[in-house]
């Protein structure tokens, strides 16, 4: 059953990514060059709606959070490396396949590279675990827990900042 849910979720996700033009190299690199904020509008809209829904159902006791651990070292170094690769490829792991689905062959070269990157990471994992993931390891922590405030305060502030950013994008035609 899990596999069927996964396929259905993926198909809808791929459909929405395609309609939002998020699968395009020009849009992804366009955002990195601060020329076209289409993917940022898509992502932040999804995040805000997702945050409201997730925390409503969490407050009702219907879902559990699944926080990824915070490691300052891993997220800064790994995040920066990801960014460098992303700038070169112009697709991310979720969108490379989608790009291939809409006919962009270069998505396939990216996917092959990603498989190589996975193998490479596995080979050096013990070193990373001992030397990088251990830097600034804060565990599974959320922003509201970090600041000791109610999660709805964080969501409202986050949503207001996002709307201000959207307003700026529209004003500047980004």
For the bound state, the minimum distance from the C-beta of residue 168 to another protein, rounded and expressed in Å, comes to: 14
Q: Per the structure block, which two tokens stand in for 135?
A: 């830097």
Cβ atoms of 25 and 106 within 8 Å: the answer is yes
Shortest Å distance, C-beta 173 to another protein: 14
Question: Binders of another protein among 17-76, rule CB under 8 A?
Answer: 17-26, 29-34, 38-39, 41-51, 53-55, 57, 62-72, 74-76
- Per DSSP, 68 falls in state P
| Shortest Cβ 150–another protein spacing (Å) | 11
Q: Which two tokens stand for residue 79?
A: 């995040």
Q: In the structure encoding, which two tokens stand for residue 160, read together?
A: 């207001």
**Closer residue to another protein, CB minimum distance, 34 or 160:** 34
Between CA 42 and CA 18 the distance in angstroms is 11
In the list 8, 135, 161, 164, the residue contacting another protein (rule: CB under 8 A) is 8
What is the C-alpha separation between 43 and 33, in angstroms, rounded? 17
Q: Which of 78, 159, 165, 174 binds another protein (CB under 8 A)?
A: 78
Q: Is the sign of the CA dihedral 15, 21, 22, 24 positive or negative?
A: positive
Number of chain positions touching another protein (CB under 8 A): 124
Q: Does 150 bind another protein (CB under 8 A)?
A: no
Contact 99, 91 (CB under 8 A): yes
Residue in this structure with the two tokens 């207001």, named with its chain if needed: 160
CB of 4 to another protein, least distance (A): 8
Mark residues 119-138: x for contact with another protein by CB under 8 A, - for none: xxxxx-xx-x---xx----x
């Amino acid at each position: 059953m899990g596999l069927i849910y996964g396929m259905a979720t993926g198909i809808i996700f791929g459909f929405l990514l395609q309609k939002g033009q998020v699968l395009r190299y020009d849009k992804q690199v366009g955002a990195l060059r601060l020329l076209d904020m289409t993917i940022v509008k898509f992502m932040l809209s999804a995040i805000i709606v997702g945050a409201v829904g997730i925390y409503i159902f969490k407050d009702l006791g219907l879902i559990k959070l699944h926080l990824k651990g915070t490691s300052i070292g891993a997220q800064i170094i790994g995040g920066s490396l990801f960014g460098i690769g992303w700038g070169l490829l112009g697709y991310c792991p979720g969108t490379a396949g989608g790009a291939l689905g809409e006919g962009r062959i270069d998505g396939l070269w990216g996917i092959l590279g990603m498989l190589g990157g996975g193998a490479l990471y596995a080979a050096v994992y013990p070193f990373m675990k001992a030397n990088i993931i251990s830097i600034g390891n804060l565990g599974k922590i959320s922003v509201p827990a970090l600041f000791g405030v109610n999660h709805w305060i964080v969501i409202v502030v986050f949503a207001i900042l996002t709307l201000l950013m959207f307003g700026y994008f529209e004003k500047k035609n980004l």
